[in-house]
Amino acid sequence: MSLTHDESMYPKFAVVGHPNKGKSSIVSALALDDSVHISNVSGTTTKQRSFPLKVDGRILYELLDTPGFQRARRVLAWLQKHDVSADKRYEVVEKFINVHKFDVKYNDEIELLTPIMEGAGIIYVVDGSKPYGEEYEAEMEILRWTGQPSMALINHIDEEDYSAEWKRALGQYFKMVRTFNPMKTDREQHISILESMSQLKEEWITPIKKSIMLFERYQEQKIYRSAGNIAKLIHQSLGLIQKLSFDTEEVLDTDKQKVEEKYKNTLRTLEKKTQKQIEIIWNHQQLKKEQAFLTFDELDLFSEESASVFGLTHKELIFTGVTSGAITGAGIDLLFAGHTLLLGGMVGAVVGGTGAYFGFKELSDIKVLGQNLGKRYLQMGPMNNRNFPYILLGRAIFHASHIATRSHAKRSIEDLSIDKHFKDKWLDDTLRKNLEKHHKLFRSGNTVDMEAISTYEGLIETVLKKLVG
Amino acid sequence: MSIKSYLNLYQLQEQDKTTKEERRSFGLSYSGLQNKHIKQLTTWIESRYDTLSHPLLSETFATYLYGLTFVLVILGFLVGFFSGIALLSYNGTSPVNVVYFMAMVIALPLFTMLLSLFSMLKAQQTQSVLVHLSPAYWMEKILLLLPHRFQFDIEGLHINPLLSNWLVIKRSQFIALFFSIGLGLSLLMMVATKDIAFAWSTTLQITPTDFHSFLLMVSTPWSGWLPSAVPSLELIEQSHYFRLGDRLGEEMIKNASSLGEWWKFLVCATLFYAIFLRFLVYLLASFGFHKALEKSMLSMDGVRQLLRDINEPIISTNAEVRTEKQEIDISGHLQIALDMGNTYTIVQGWAMPEMTIKVLNDSLCITASFVYEVGGSNSLKEDSLVISKSKGTVLLYVKAWEPPTMDFIDYLEELVETVAKVIVTPIGTEENHYVTTEKSMKEWERKLATYDNEKIWLQRINAQIIEEK
């Protein structure tokens, strides 16, 4: 299907520059896609790659990752051989493309100049952590010859800062010079760059503004999808039942250990599966291949450390048990119109508190079932431990918030330090009470109304919004 | 919208294989229904109806449900009809006690309607005792006794508890309505075909005046427009019957013709309390059922996601074509210069001003007969001139942080054709005392190795060399 004139008139931006100056990182960060690869040898990117922002199949704008300049001086020399006035220079560039279309020598230049000559705005990327060099001038001059709207982005690959000298040089060639660190980018910075891009051409202001609004919506979509996956994880994990059949007369300890291990492994698998789904939601598919950086390999789901970082303290746990028990008890009081002299609430609080205290260590009872039916089996689950949902939820929220804020330009596997006070950032007393109501429901093993799951999703969504923004 | 819509949606969700794109495409095709969730769902069911596998769950379930309801309605009607006949049987000796009939057409309906209203309020609960009291509830139990094929057909079907409660409530009202109609018909038939002597009798100490007041209250709904259907005090006094003696009193025999006047009251009571009010409760139950149906459809597993997919635009920012990471096989050999000499005839600097080269030489204690700037702002002709002047061993400084471009490689290839040896020496920034990073050295090493030229050497400048110099 061919595009109509209007449909093909969306803004395009070609990200160009010297090789290895972070073009791909910038594209990754702006397109929220970590699938941009960097070769181990520079100059091996020979094809432009398109990253369109699409809404229902309609492109709003397109980012193009291009190969770096390889023979800028030769191209400029060819262009300068043509003595033309400024208004005819773009024709010379077009002629260069036509003449050298099939010349492998100029493959990279052709790849990067073609979209520009087709109307793409220029985003020229330099590394502000390295000194300015005169070899860049040929590249900037070629771009000037194209006559297309352009801006420069100063990237900071390393710590050193040569921005001032870069700004002085770039200012002579580009309408706009901005600093952008794709490794530390956040939503605000992302939007600010998009706004700058829209300023390159008047016709681009509206589509880019629309794109910015869509990015906001896209963020919301990703947050509620993550919340949905986390809610599903908690619901499934708490209601999980693991069975193991056995033939011996007596139940052996090894069988009990086996069923427990199986139970724990299933929970670990569920957690990893959710982590993968969340990585996909946030376009961090590459983490799959590079070994997910955040699988908590060093911090097992059932470790003491995990419980101490993500779980509730004994005090909080008892308090949660007391309040949730008291709520149940209060229900009894309400049923009898207070004629129980509020004893229901008091008894509920004690029972809830005691249950919580004793429930800190054990995960679930191991029951022997099927005694009368001939085929006996051990059953573990649903989850009894009141702390477990908070540990699992804390880990899931921690993972999701880091994935959501991780720049797509990052390719390294981070050694993530666990913030010991992470829990304080998202869990307060009110939320804990609300969560506990749901955890109790999930732990019951009964069919849970979708509405309850939706409410639970809503609670997680609020937390993620607060953490991710 | 009926239970069939719910079950069709249920089956669709179970068998759903639609992609996000298909769902969104549906949303765009019916853009007028944007965010009208119920309408969207019913249209979605219609559009996907052909994809449902046969036999349709909705057809199977509805056939049996309607069949059962029909049987229960007929039973209800017959029970009502024969109860009426039994209550109105007059053997010619003892009169018919209207209190029995009133209990059946006023007290019983009011009591059961009250229970129904309570059960409506409690319909949200999964295990509602009030609902379980209903005969319609037992229909579900009867379903289990049905042929095996049916059980197979609805195996795994989990109807939302709220909906199944309302289903029971609504059908209970329907059955009760037919029970009342049966009762009313039996009354009309008995009145028309028999001469019934009505009387009232009770063990309680109720005077005719008290009873009259009570009946006036009961007759309020029709007393205004049908006063003849309100028993007069006189009639009440005349028809007061005492069982002692087991025969009609003289007063009663004397007023035999007026005793039959009760029928008007009984018909009106039946029509109003047993039929009209029941019909209103049935309408209320139908309304509640409809609302429960909507709520259940919206809270069905996966429907929330379906609606989001239908209503939310598909936003994507990532590359259309995913690429695999490129690893270039570096098989070529590169000679590494282990010792940095002190004297060179020619020292060149790639993209470095002559002054910088001289400062470098000074820092590294290098003595050079000729110093040339190449690349950078030089023209290609100037570079060729330098090459023509070059011979022997050439020390070629390059900026370590700048990856080797093809422009440099072109120059190098041309140079090695003229000279005996080129020692490429990447240097770090002045701020870092010219010390290079391992990463940048590797980059140069890999690139130069790919040319596998014995005249090309690489000199590593590390902190130790700088110190020695």
pLDDT band at residue A356 under the 50/70/90 scheme: very low
Considering the domain architecture, whether residues A156 and A227 belong to the same structural domain is answered as no
Mean pLDDT score of chain A, rounded to an integer?
82
Considering the domain architecture, whether residues B343 and B274 belong to the same structural domain is answered as no
Longest dimension (CA), chain A: 101
From A55, A160, A228, residue closest to B431, measured CB to CB: A160
Whether the predicted pLDDT of A268 surpasses 80:
yes
Structure tokens at A340: 């129980």
What does the pLDDT read at residue A298?
Answer: 65
- Contact (CB, 8 A) for A243 and A379: yes
From B318, B353, B430, residue closest to A51, measured CB to CB: B318
Percent of chain B with pLDDT over 70: 84
Considering the domain architecture, whether residues A146 and A229 belong to the same structural domain is answered as no
In a domain, A211, yes or no: no
Considering the domain architecture, whether residues A159 and A267 belong to the same structural domain is answered as no
From A41, A70, A127, residue closest to B405, measured CB to CB: A70
Considering the domain architecture, whether residues B177 and B214 belong to the same structural domain is answered as yes
What does the pLDDT read at residue A197?
Answer: 92
Distance of alpha carbon A274 from alpha carbon B116, whole angstroms:
44
Mutate to test the interface with A, among B406, B414, B427, B451 (most CBs of A within 10 A): B406
What does the pLDDT read at residue A297?
Answer: 59
State pLDDT tens for residues A419-443: 778 888 999 999 999 999 999 988 8
Contact B377 A135 (CB under 8 A): yes
From B324, B407, B430, residue closest to A74, measured CB to CB: B407
Considering the domain architecture, whether residues A408 and A455 belong to the same structural domain is answered as yes
State pLDDT tens for residues A83-120: 899 999 999 999 999 999 999 999 999 999 999 999 99
Peptide bond into A382 cis (omega under 30): yes
State pLDDT tens for residues A181-206: 888 777 888 889 999 999 999 999 99
Helix (H) or strand (E) holding A52: strand A49-55
| A427 interfaces chain B, CB cutoff of 8 Å | no
Distances (CA, A) of A1 to A4, A7, A281, B316: 9, 12, 29, 20
Considering the domain architecture, whether residues B178 and B295 belong to the same structural domain is answered as yes
| β-pair type (A366-369, B96-97) | unpaired
Window 199-228 of A: residues touching B by CB (8 A cutoff) are 214, 217-218, 221, 224, 228
CB contacts of A74 in chain B (<8 Å) are 380, 407, 410
In a domain, B317, yes or no: no
A408: how many CB neighbours lie within 10 A of its CB?
25
Considering the domain architecture, whether residues B149 and B212 belong to the same structural domain is answered as yes
In a domain, A206, yes or no: no
What does the pLDDT read at residue A338?
Answer: 40
Whether the predicted pLDDT of A15 surpasses 90:
yes
CB contacts of B313 in chain A (<8 Å) are 55-56, 214, 217
Domain CATH code at residue B455? 3.40.50
CA dihedral sign, ordered B406, B407, B413, B419: negative
From A37, A54, A447, residue closest to B325, measured CB to CB: A37
Window 265-294 of A: residues touching B by CB (8 A cutoff) are 283
In a domain, A161, yes or no: yes
What does the pLDDT read at residue B215?
Answer: 87
Q: What is the DSSP letter of A40?
A: S
Contact A131 B429 (CB under 8 A): yes
A8: region left, alpha or beta (phi > 0 left; psi from -120 to 50 alpha):
alpha
In a domain, B319, yes or no: no
Name the one residue in this structure whose structure tokens are 């809270």. Answer: B299
Nearest one of A58, A101, A335 to A210, comparing CA atoms:
A58
Name the one residue in this structure whose structure tokens are 């006070």. Answer: A421
- Contact (CB, 8 A) for B390 and B419: yes
Whether the predicted pLDDT of A445 surpasses 80:
no
Considering the domain architecture, whether residues A281 and A363 belong to the same structural domain is answered as yes
Considering the domain architecture, whether residues B307 and B456 belong to the same structural domain is answered as no
In a domain, A335, yes or no: yes
In a domain, A236, yes or no: yes
Distance of alpha carbon A384 from alpha carbon A437, whole angstroms:
14
Domain extent for B373? 335-468
Given B245, B278, B311, the domain boundary residue is B311
Considering the domain architecture, whether residues B160 and B272 belong to the same structural domain is answered as yes
Distance from CA of A190 to the nearest CA of B (A): 13
Considering the domain architecture, whether residues A379 and A237 belong to the same structural domain is answered as yes
Termini Cα distance of chain A: 39
| B158 interfaces chain A, CB cutoff of 8 Å | yes
pLDDT band at residue A295 under the 50/70/90 scheme: low
Identify the three-state secondary structure at position B209.
helix
In a domain, A333, yes or no: yes
Whether the predicted pLDDT of A360 surpasses 50:
no
In a domain, B320, yes or no: no
Contact A43 B319 (CB under 8 A): no
Total domain count for chain A?
Answer: 2
In a domain, A208, yes or no: no
Considering the domain architecture, whether residues B79 and B137 belong to the same structural domain is answered as yes
What does the pLDDT read at residue A80?
Answer: 94
| pTM attached to this predicted model | 0.73
What does the pLDDT read at residue B439?
Answer: 85
In a domain, B411, yes or no: yes
- Contact (CB, 8 A) for B447 and B420: no
Mutate to test the interface with B, among A100, A109, A135 (most CBs of B within 10 A): A135
Whether the predicted pLDDT of A446 surpasses 60:
yes
Considering the domain architecture, whether residues A235 and A171 belong to the same structural domain is answered as no
Considering the domain architecture, whether residues B244 and B342 belong to the same structural domain is answered as no
In a domain, B207, yes or no: yes
Considering the domain architecture, whether residues B180 and B116 belong to the same structural domain is answered as yes
Distances (CA, A) of A183 to A28, A161, A407, B118, B448: 10, 15, 6, 61, 29
Distance from CA of B105 to the nearest CA of A (A): 32
Structure tokens at A447: 């069919």
Q: What is the DSSP letter of A284?
A: -
Window 168-187 of B: residues touching A by CB (8 A cutoff) are none
Considering the domain architecture, whether residues B32 and B146 belong to the same structural domain is answered as yes
Considering the domain architecture, whether residues B294 and B343 belong to the same structural domain is answered as no
Considering the domain architecture, whether residues A301 and A339 belong to the same structural domain is answered as yes
Given B295, B311, B327, the domain boundary residue is B311
Contact B328 A134 (CB under 8 A): no
B118: region left, alpha or beta (phi > 0 left; psi from -120 to 50 alpha):
alpha
Structure tokens at B427: 């240097």
Q: Which comes out higher in pLDDT, residue A287 or B442?
A: B442
In a domain, B400, yes or no: yes
Contact B319 A283 (CB under 8 A): no
Window 206-265 of B: residues touching A by CB (8 A cutoff) are none
Distance of alpha carbon A418 from alpha carbon A301, whole angstroms:
14
State pLDDT tens for residues B128-167: 555 566 665 666 666 556 665 555 566 667 777 788 888 8
Considering the domain architecture, whether residues B240 and B362 belong to the same structural domain is answered as no
Considering the domain architecture, whether residues A20 and A118 belong to the same structural domain is answered as yes
Given B296, B311, B326, the domain boundary residue is B311
| B403 interfaces chain A, CB cutoff of 8 Å | yes
In a domain, B316, yes or no: no
Considering the domain architecture, whether residues A270 and A195 belong to the same structural domain is answered as no
Considering the domain architecture, whether residues A393 and A352 belong to the same structural domain is answered as yes
Window 71-90 of B: residues touching A by CB (8 A cutoff) are none
Report residue B265 CA to chain centroid gap.
53
pLDDT band at residue A413 under the 50/70/90 scheme: low
CB contacts of B13 in chain A (<8 Å) are none
Average pLDDT over residues A358-375: 66
Window 116-155 of B: residues touching A by CB (8 A cutoff) are 126
Total domain count for chain B?
Answer: 2
Contact A214 B24 (CB under 8 A): no
Q: Locate the chain B residue with the closest alpha carbon to A281.
A: B316
Domain extent for A125? 7-200
What does the pLDDT read at residue A115?
Answer: 95
pLDDT band at residue A131 under the 50/70/90 scheme: very high
Low-confidence ranges of chain B (pLDDT < 50): none
